[in-house]
Structure 1
Amino acid sequence: MPDGISCTRAKVFRRVMTPPEARLWTRLRGKRLNGVKFRRQHPVGPYILDFYCAWVKLAIEVDGASHDAPERIAHDRRRTAWLATQGIRVIRLRASDVRDEIEGGMDFIQRSVRERVPPGYHGVAPS
Structure 2
Amino acid sequence: MKPAHTPIPNRQRANARRMRSQMTEAEKTLWHELRAHRLMGLGFRRQYPIRQFIVEFVCPEHRLVIELDGSQHGWAGVAAADAARSADLQADGWTVVRFWNDDVLADVDGVCRHIVATINEKRAASDG
Q: Determine if the TM-score, normalized by the shorter chain, exceeds 0.5.
A: yes
Render the CA deviation track for 1:57-97: whole Å, top value 9, x for unaligned: 00001111010111101110110111011100100011001
Choose which of 84, 100, 115 in structure 2 pairs with 1:109.
Answer: 115
Report how many aligned residue pairs link the two structures.
Answer: 120
Q: Which runs of 5+ in 1 are unaligned?
A: 121-127
RMSD across aligned positions (CA): 1.2
Q: Which residue of 2 aligns with 1:17?
A: 23
Q: Which amino acid is 1:5 matched to?
A: R
Choose which of 68, 87, 91 in structure 1 pairs with 2:97.
Answer: 91
Greater relative contact order (Cα 8 A, min sep 6): structure 1 or 2? 1
Q: Which residue of 2 aligns with 1:71?
A: 77
- Whether 1:27 and 2:66 are equivalent positions in the alignment is no
Q: Which runs of 4+ in 1 moved over 3 A?
A: none
Q: Which residue of 2 aligns with 1:51?
A: 57
> d(CA) in 2 for partners of 1:67 and 1:109?
20
Q: Which amino acid is 1:48 matched to?
A: I
> d(CA) in 1 for partners of 2:82 and 2:46?
18
Please state how far the C-alpha of 1:55 moved relative to its aligned partner.
0.5
The alignment's TM-score, normalised by the length of structure 1, stands at: 0.90
**Greater share of residues in helix:** 2
Quick check: 1:3–1:46 contact (8 Å CA) kept in 2? no
Q: Which runs of 5+ in 2 are unaligned?
A: 1-5
Q: Percent identity?
A: 32
Of 42-51 and 110-119, deviating more is 110-119
SS at match of 1:55: helix
